[in-house]
Structure 1
Amino acid sequence: MKRILTMAVAAAMVVACSKEESGPSGPMQLTIDPTITRATEVDFETGDAIGVTVTTAAEAYVTNRKFVYGSDSRFAGEESLLWYEDVNAPATLFAYYPYSDPAPSEFTVKADQGGDGYDASDLMTALKTGVYPTKNAVGMTFRHKMSRLVFTIDNETDFPVTQLVVTGTIGTAVIDAAANTVTVKSDAATQDITAREVTANSKYYALVVPQSAKFSVTVTTAEGTRSQSYSETELEGGKSYPVTVRVKPTNMEIAMEGPIEGWEDAEEIPTEGQGTSEAATVEWGGVKYKIVTLKDGRTWMAENLRYVPEGKSISSNPADGNGVWYPCNLDKEVDPDLAETNGLLYSYPVLLGLDGELTAENYNTKEGAQGICPDGWHIPTKDEWMKLAGAGSGGLSDPTAPYYDAAQNGGSMVKLNEDGFNFSGCGYINANNATATPAYMASVSKADDTAYGMGYYAGSTAYQITYNTAGDAMSGIKNIQYFAAMITYNDTYNRVTVAYNSGFCGVPVRCIKDAE
């Protein structure tokens, strides 16, 4: 089926050629540094093409120029495009994938998404305002605009699945380039979509236009077909909806369970008549952890990690150097019963995945490391914690952080918990330097029956190393510090900030999903 590809980006846009004259700093080529997670890969591939439109307050500088992804991981115009000369004039950049000439004002997913039909249905767009001419590549985040259905087949019959078809969704969307939105074309026809086979008899993908839909799934085997209908569901763009299809000898069951890597994890879709769902989770080490996507746009674990690395056991002695410990209670005593709700405590070498102890050579090599987190997740960095906290030690400040509360001078734990982060004051193991004896510290005290206290969550960004004699590495390490999330709650504060935490402490871990 031929895809609809016509777009009116602006009524009075005039295509401008690249300028041969150079600006005051010399020729500045317009290139784009994309950030995405593709439906099939983790990045664009060499040769992929996007359409780019650049407008200023005065005019359309260039419209639907074809940019091609190169071996340098950047997009550049097929014919080198230089910035305009006025370096003080800001521009708005709109880009979309896959490229088409003319540019699309409507987009239709392919009915047959096998082979190239799936990639051709993966519409992505990016919009960036306030961009000034620069020699640097312009960073643009491309977001999936379609909804993705991911079907996992649990086949209990002797006949392999040969086809999976989704019926009942409208296949065409309208693109608003200025607003960077994609909405269903309500008067367009519904279509049958043949899903892409990813793994034979095991996994299928289908891309559909975002919409409120009551759709059905039909599975075909050599002995016939089976169908199941879904309840009316709001399918959101950029979200991935996991579906488990259980094919039985006499019928078929469909359930929603488990997160999908790559796209934003979506809520479950109930089958017709059920109307139930369960919280999104990620499984690691045989444990399912609740996860949540916060206003920073990132997906976090909503529970403290209680994973035990291979070769490790859980200790009750904070001073034994084991690296994995039970949490403590409010009396600063070990309490294994709290592990399920409060997680475990970890040394920095263990949580960062270091081979051995902290040293001057390895302490600052693990920013953003997976560490003991699941595949596709990592230990949060300073910048990622700052997007929740908005403030920190040493004058760190980001008042644009979505949970920043000026009155608290930090991130509001109340607002974060309302959105599902679920802070857990689980205690920590304190050792403020390399020679201190580690000891349990309670995150709260019981004075006057009121919860007062503080605690830390691990970060992977190193702050500094100090020596017993300042500047003399031969005198031995005095301390190694990391940027960490510090929670404070008392009569005045209920906040999270970014602070310095000794690398010789034992702390809880929250993993964050890798950026999409």
Structure 2
Amino acid sequence: MKKSLTFIFAAALLVSCQQEENETLTPANSRITISPVITRATEVNFETGDKIGVTIIQNGDFVYAENKQMTFNDGVFAGDLLWYPEGNDKSQIVAYYPYREGNTPTSFSVEADQTTGYGASDLMAASNKDVLPTVNTITMNFKHLLTKLVINVTKEVEANITSIALKGSIPTATLDLAALTVTADANVAATNITAQVVEANKTYRALIVPQTVALTLEVATSDGKTLSQKLTSTTLAQGGQYSVNIRVLPDDIEVKLIGDIENWTDEGEIGADNEIPFEEHLDENYFLYDNVKYNTVTLANGTTWMAEPLIYLPKGYTPSTDPTADSHVWYPYEIKADGATVATTEESAIKELGYLYDFQVALGGKEITESNLNSFEGAQGICPKGWHIPTRLEYFNLVGKTTNDVDGKVPANGDKALFYDAVYDGAKISSLNNAGFNYQFSGVRMATSLTGAGSYQKTAIAEDANIQTAWHGKPAMNYLMTSTAFKPVYNSTSGLLTNIQFFGLMSTINAKYSEGRLSLSYVSIKAGMQLRCVRDQAAN
């Protein structure tokens, strides 16, 4: 395996090259393919020819396939394994690396000499439950199951370091791959592990089976000396990364073990039972949230945004295909040639367009009332930790145009907003896209009061020669949610509350605004719309 930084490969679909040209692709006749994600700061990328073993348990008890070999090529793992014909049967898929012939392995041993055997010692596994047969690639989140030690050296001698060894650990683990757990095998004798050189005389690394152990660190130098130091007993966490900082002196070494200072995978952190898995990889312009990858973009003003819509579903909520239903979350939709709107439940469409959320669910499920509506400004809501639902001002700083607030005011310096265009008196969608924002035409589940029935907004972008062809037929009115309240609305006769309105980023696409105009307006909290999260400024 190639040594490098954390990666994620985009999902792709491979089908059998023997299929007849007129054969219809269905789950039952499609090849199973897996797109791998490796979490946190790993140094391994899968390369063409790398192999994993895959086991599929159908309906909880029937072994449909055991330890089937899949080979990495073009960003996915694939083999000759086809889906079973029972399309409604759910399965659990378990995959591991590196592949071993025979039955699914129940034990694994790290290499004693990791100067060349480091990659072969990096046991990883992934497990997905409730998987239905599909023509799409299955994304699987591979986790490191062992413990990584990084040895950082300060050399205060003339001689070079010839080797560094970690002595006294059990090299073999018993495996429960489905549960993604390993246990040191107490029946196996302890051994010595020679670390791999990352940078000579400076950095070394080794993989060890998780266990409670008092290691001995041994350093050999080119002048024939061997210096050793016993470390304090430490419980090495599965998936945890530890730093061992040493000073090599003429006749001694000083050692300090820093425990779990970085998380190699999520296994190094213990969160609350309801904590949603979240990992930032902003140096690679994405994050993982609830095991879904989202691309991000950092704009010229220093703010970091999701570069695609959110598709997270909070517990207890089910998206609806019926825009009249008060379900709080709705599927995206498309506008047909006859003007009809039809919800789409296709996975690819949902990933592209996102779900349409109303304000209550997006802001965390708390009821929004006339007395608390201003308390949600900058709320995290259903965004990941360290991110939040954008405020009116944050979008204003991008587009420079908004309707008045309840006091009749607008923020100053709109003409200095990042994407403000004087001709459009707002921002152009094309300008945001050129900066990597990746604007999507998700439309809006429109509602105009607290009690009225909702509907998908069905005005389509006209087939105008001045408007991008790719936009034709997509929803012309789209809203992106903010966390800033506008005002409650009351019936002028009865005085009863009829609506609560928040600000949203609204699009206008027509012959006048052929590149798409973005400005802020207000919209009912019952409306359903796309959600983009923005990173907290303190985190930026």
CA distance in 1 between counterparts of 2:310 and 2:165 reads 40
The residue type paired with residue 87 of structure 1 is: G
The separation in 2 between residues aligned to 1:253 and 1:145, in whole angstroms, is: 29
- 1:434 is matched with 400
- C-alpha distance after superposition, 1:56-98 (max 9, x if no partner): 136221111111111x211111xx2221111111111111111
C-alpha separation between the residues in 1 aligned to 2:90 and 2:295? Answer: 34
| C-alpha contact 1:146 1:237 (8 A) present in aligned 2 | yes
Alignment of 1:202 with 2:202, yes or no, is yes
Q: Return the alpha-carbon distance in structure 2 between the equivalents of residues 500 and 299 of structure 1.
A: 17
SS at match of 1:472: coil
Q: Give distance in 1, aligned partners of 2:64 and 2:120.
A: 28
Give the structure 1 partner of residue 15 of structure 2. Answer: none
Q: Distance in 1 between matches of 2:45 and 2:148?
A: 17
Q: Which amino acid aligns with 1:395?
A: Y
Distance (whole Å) between structure 2 residues aligned to residue 99 and residue 249 of structure 1 = 44
- Which residue of 2 is the match for residue 65 of structure 1? 68
Unaligned runs of 5+ in 2: 1-19, 286-293, 318-327, 330-354, 369-375, 402-409, 414-435, 440-478, 481-504, 522-529
Report the equivalent of 2:253. 252
Task: Give the counterpart letter for 2:297 in structure 1.
Answer: A
C-alpha deviations, 1:258-301, integer Å up to 9, x for none? Answer: 9658656959xxxxxxxxxxxxxxxxxxxxxxxx9x93333469
What is residue 296 of structure 1 aligned with on the other side?
276
- Aligned partners of 2:185 and 2:176: how far apart in 1? 12
Q: Deviations over 1:187-222 (max 9, x none)?
A: 322111000111111111100001122212112213
2:285 is the alignment partner of 1:369:
no
**Unaligned regions of 5+ residues in structure 1, if any?**
1-19, 268-291, 306-351, 353-365, 440-458, 482-497, 512-516
**1:219 paired to 2:219:** yes
Encode CA deviations 1:144-192: one digit per residue, 9 max, x unaligned.
1010001121112222211111112111100123433211112322111
* Number of the residue aligned with 1:479: 519
Say if 1:127 and 1:394 are closer, same or farther in 2 by CA, change over 3 A.
closer
Q: Residue 87 of structure 2 aligns with which residue?
A: 87
Given the superposition, is the C-alpha separation of residues 460 and 408 from structure 1 closer, same or farther in structure 2, using an over 3 Å criterion? farther
Match of 2:241 in 1: 240
How far does residue 414 in structure 1 lie from its aligned partner after superposition?
11
Distance change in 2, residues 1:241/1:299 (3 Å):
farther
Specify whether residues 253 and 428 from structure 1 end up closer, same or farther in structure 2 by C-alpha distance, changes over 3 A only. farther
**Aligned pair in 2 of structure 1 residues 373, 136: CA closer, same or farther (>3 Å)?**
farther
Candidates 510, 513, 516, aligned match of 2:539:
510
Partner of 2:147: 147
Contact 2:146 2:208 in 1 (8 A): yes
- The residue type paired with residue 473 of structure 1 is Y
Paired residues of 2:211 and 2:237 also in contact (CA < 8 A): yes
Contact 2:396 2:520 in 1 (8 A): no
- Contact 1:429–1:438 (Cα < 8 Å) also in 2: no
CA contact (8 A) 1:121 1:207 kept: yes
**Which one-letter code corresponds to 2:357 in the other structure?**
G
Given that 2:218 and 2:228 are in contact with CA atoms closer than 8 Å, whether structure 1 keeps it comes out as yes
Deviation at 1:118, TM superposition (A): 0.8
Judge conservation of contact 2:37–2:139 (CA < 8 Å) in 1: yes
Normalising by structure 2, report the TM-score.
0.54
Q: 1:509 to 1:98 in 2, by over 3 A?
A: same
The 1:263–1:108 alpha-carbon spacing in structure 2 relative to 1, beyond 3 Å, is same
Matches within 5 A, 1:339-358: none
CA distance in 2, matches of 1:372, 1:168: 52
Does the alignment pair 1:31 with 2:33? yes
Tell me the distance in 2 between the aligned counterparts of 1:112 and 1:262: 22
Q: Partners in 1 of 2:314 and 2:256 — Cα distance?
A: 34
1:76 aligns to 2:78 (yes or no): yes
The answer as to 2:5 corresponding to 1:43 is: no
Aligned mates of 1:138, 1:39 — CA distance in 2: 22
- 1:203 partner letter: T
Deviation at 1:46?
0.6
- State TM-score, norm by structure 1: 0.56
- Classify 1:469/1:54 alpha carbon distance in 2 versus 1 (closer, same or farther; 3 Å): closer
Other-structure match for 2:491 = none
Separation (CA, whole Å) in 2 of partners of 1:230 and 1:95? 35
Which amino acid in structure 2 is aligned with residue 369 of structure 1? V
Give the direction of change, closer, same or farther, for the CA distance of 1:39–1:373 in structure 2 (3 Å limit): farther
CA RMSD of aligned residues (A): 5.1
Report the CA distance between 1:114 and its aligned residue.
1.1
Preserved CA contact (<8 Å) 2:40 2:279: no
| C-alpha distance in 2 between matches for 1:480 and 1:414 | 20
What SS is found at the alignment partner of 2:296? coil
Q: Secondary structure at the match of 1:210?
A: coil
What residue number does 2:357 align with?
395
Larger radius of gyration: 2
For the Cα contact (< 8 Å) 2:238–2:268, is it kept in 1?
no
Q: Does structure 1 conserve the Cα–Cα contact (< 8 Å) formed by 2:124 and 2:145?
A: yes
Separation (CA, whole Å) in 2 of partners of 1:114 and 1:163 = 9
Change (3 A) 1:170 1:26: closer
- Kindly provide the amino acid, as one letter, of the partner of residue 233 in structure 2: E
Q: Secondary structure at 2:153's aligned position in 1?
A: strand
C-alpha deviation, 1:244, in angstroms: 2.1
| Preserved CA contact (<8 Å) 1:53 1:95 | yes
Whether the 8 Å contact between 1:50 and 1:68 is mirrored in structure 2 is yes
Alignment of 1:420-459 (within 5 A): 431=396, 434=400, 437-438=411-412
| Separation (CA, whole Å) in 2 of partners of 1:42 and 1:480 | 44
State whether residues 35 and 138 of structure 2, in contact with CA within 8 Å, keep that contact through their aligned partners in structure 1: yes
Given the superposition, is the C-alpha separation of residues 171 and 438 from structure 1 closer, same or farther in structure 2, using an over 3 Å criterion?
A: farther
SS of 1:369's equivalent in the other structure is strand
In 2 relative to 1, CA 240–413 (structure 1 residues): closer, same or farther, beyond 3 Å? farther
Matches of residues 101-140 of structure 1 in structure 2 within 5 Å? 101-102=101-102, 103-115=104-116, 117-140=117-140
How far did residue 500 of structure 1 move?
A: 7.0
Measured in 2, the distance between the counterparts of 1:135 and 1:468 equals 36
Q: Distance in 2 between matches of 1:369 and 1:220?
A: 47
1:41 is displaced (CA, Å) by 4.2
1:415 deviates by: 12
- SS of the equivalent of 2:161 reads coil
1:174 aligns with 2:174: yes
TM-aligned CA distance change 1:468 to 1:127, over 3 Å: closer
SS at structure 2 position matched to 1:75: strand
Query: Aligned with 1:120: secondary structure?
Result: helix
